[in-house]
Amino acid sequence: MAIAPAAAASAYQAIAKMGAPSATPTATPGGIPNFGDFLSNAVKDVSGTMQQGEQMAAKQASGQADIVDVVNAVNSAEMSLDTVVAVRDKVIAAYQSIMQMPI
């Protein structure tokens, strides 16, 4: 399956935004950015991408959107979901590894 250049560029921009510091970063007392806030922002970004894909599909069903735009939005949502699933799998694997360590 070929990935459209616009969809790839959109995915790279979304990933770059996820790693960029927010306008109001919260930090722990040691000055380290809060990982929970980073994850929360990443989930919100993915949720927004998924909603945009759904909205574009609905617009296409009513004849208001171009099929290319719909495919790009749905492809972006699919890549975001795949990324979330991969991160979830890594977190679960790390948790299982920690739980198997001897005390």
Encoded tokens for 15: 């990933």
| Helices 5-19 and 35-61, packing angle to 10 deg | 150
Encoded tokens for 48: 């927004």
Euclidean distance between CA atoms 65 and 60, whole angstroms? 5
How does pLDDT run along the chain (103 residues), one tens digit per residue? 455 566 656 665 666 565 555 545 555 666 677 878 888 888 889 889 999 999 998 998 898 988 998 999 999 999 999 998 998 899 999 999 999 998 8
